């Protein structure tokens, strides 16, 4: 792109801080930095027309971990590590709620329920037996016992007669949350440029040279918040993980209320605007879903529709309204990577599908490092 003098001097000169990625992490970081350095010139670059990746594509779960996930984590992590993981999710949600406001993002604490199929009786019993000990471990975070059993009041088919519920979990309207964050960022004077992909960066005597799909420029500091796309810029332990989603047309009298986890969290669904939003199935093709390309596959979409018909809405006629996908960032460990690459470059990536829960906290931690 050939830039005019006005464009170059107004938008791309004397940049104090550049943030790559306008998702939950990037926007939270930008807002925190604007408060910390009110006179700084902060520029956010986003490769999508809208915030792209997972921040505007997710299911809107305000979750901390289903009981089977916590139980699994305790096999590969110490109790202290699991405690810290859950605490960071709790603190992240509280930070997001304080920044955006419950009303602005339609936050509803309906509880998060884990369902177990009839074939998973042994896992259900193991998790049931673990409720007391896991509650005891996590009670200091919640100031109460998070996990309890509830009957199958929504009449899902082919599952155990009880759910294991985390009463503190909730749901949000993802679109409203992101709009609120964008509004706050712009109100703070933060410049956000969309449809600009960062291709590389180089530290020079003049500053950090940013090469994008449209222009080059210099910045004093650089923060990378691209999560599942991080490997395009950094040599780092992050793999992309695509998550496919569908949503029904409105269903009259839909009784379902809450967020639900199925098959150890590989499937998840919720109510929204009298619709059912249903996603997951990455476990059907881990290798194929390890991609930065958006899109849907017949294998996963057909499985989602079958499960929707046979388990979630067995006695209800429904039509699919939309399908989409998002790109998460995962790795060998669940803990996010919040790392200083050099004196003037830091990154906050690998949120492991917990962007809503920890994105605000990661963004704040990045601002504290800058």
- Say whether pLDDT at 1 is over 80: no
Determine the length of the chain: 370
Homologous superfamily of the 5-57+175-236+334-369 domain (CATH): FAD/NAD(P)-binding domain (3.50.50.60)
Contact 232, 347 (CB under 8 A): no
For the stretch 216-254, pLDDT in tens is 999 999 999 999 999 999 999 999 999 999 999 999 999
| b/e per residue 220-236 (b: at least 16 CB within 10 A) | ebbbbbbbbbbbbbbeb
Domain boundaries, given as residue ranges, for the chain: 5-57+175-236+334-369, 109-168+238-330
25 sits in which H/E element: helix 24-36
Quick one: pLDDT band at residue 30, thresholds 50, 70, 90? very high
pLDDT in tens, 260-310: 999 989 999 999 999 999 999 999 999 999 999 999 999 999 999 999 999
Nearest CA-CA partner of 265 in 71, 11, 18, 34: 71
For the chain, the average pLDDT equals 96
The string of DSSP letters for 313-352 reads: STT----EEEEEEEEEEE-SSSS-EEEEEETTEEEEE--T
Same fold, 5-57+175-236+334-369 and 109-168+238-330: no
The DSSP bridge partners found for residue 50 are none
Structure tokens at 91: 């603190």
- Torsion angle of C-alpha atoms 308, 309, 310, 312, degrees rounded to 10: 40
User: Strand ranges (DSSP E) for 29-151?
Assistant: 42-45, 61-62, 112-115, 147-151
What is 109-168+238-330's CATH number, 2.60.120.260, 3.60.40.10, 2.60.120.380, 3.30.9.10? 3.30.9.10
* Coil/strand/helix, residue 198: strand
**Nearest CA-CA partner of 363 in 207, 188, 200, 181:** 181
The pLDDT confidence band at residue 163, using thresholds 50, 70 and 90, is: very high
169 touches 152 (CB < 8 A): no
Query: Which residues, in sequence order, are bridge partners of residue 268?
Result: 261, 279
d(CA 154, CA 37): 50
Residue with the larger pLDDT of the pair 334 and 79: 79
Instruction: Please state, for a pLDDT cut of 90, what percent of the chain lies above it.
Output: 96
256 CB burial (10 A radius; 0-12, 13-18, 19+)? buried
């Amino acid at each position: 792109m050939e830039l005019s003098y006005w464009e170059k001097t107004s938008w791309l000169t004397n940049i104090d801080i550049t943030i790559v990625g306008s998702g939950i992490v990037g926007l939270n970081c930008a807002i925190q930095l604007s408060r910390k350095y009110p006179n700084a010139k902060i520029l956010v670059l986003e490769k999508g027309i809208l915030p792209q990746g997972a921040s505007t594509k997710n299911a809107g779960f305000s979750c901390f971990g289903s009981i089977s996930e916590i139980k699994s984590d305790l096999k590969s992590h110490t109790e202290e590590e699991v405690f810290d993981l859950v605490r960071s999710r709790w603190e992240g949600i509280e930070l997001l709620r304080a920044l955006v406001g419950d009303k602005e993002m339609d936050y509803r604490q309906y509880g998060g329920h884990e369902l177990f199929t009839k074939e998973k009786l042994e896992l259900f019993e193991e998790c049931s037996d673990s409720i007391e000990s896991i509650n005891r471990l996590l009670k200091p975070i919640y100031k109460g016992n998070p996990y309890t059993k509830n009957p199958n009041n929504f009449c899902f088919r082919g599952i155990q007669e009880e759910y294991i519920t985390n009463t503190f979990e909730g749901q949000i309207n993802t679109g409203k949350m992101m709009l609120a964050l964008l509004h706050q960022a712009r109100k703070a004077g933060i410049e956000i440029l969309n449809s600009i992909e960062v291709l590389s960066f180089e530290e020079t005597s003049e500053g950090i040279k940013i090469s994008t799909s449209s222009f080059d420029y210099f910045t004093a500091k650089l923060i990378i918040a691209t999560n599942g796309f991080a490997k395009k810029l950094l040599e780092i332990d992050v793999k992309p993980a695509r998550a496919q989603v569908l949503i029904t047309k409105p269903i009259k009298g839909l009784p379902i209320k809450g967020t639900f986890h199925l098959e150890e969290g590989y499937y998840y669904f919720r109510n929204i605007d009298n619709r059912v939003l249903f996603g997951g199935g990455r476990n059907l093709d881990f290798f194929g879903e390890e991609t930065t390309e958006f899109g849907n596959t017949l294998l996963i979409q057909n499985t989602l529709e079958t499960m929707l018909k046979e388990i979630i809405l067995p006695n209800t006629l429904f039509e699919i309204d939309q399908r989409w996908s998002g790109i998460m960032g995962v790795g060998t460990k669940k803990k996010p990577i919040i790392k200083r690459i050099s004196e003037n470059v830091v990154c906050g990536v690998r949120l492991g599908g917990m962007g809503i829960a920890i994105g605000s906290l990661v963004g704040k931690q990045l601002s504290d490092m800058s």
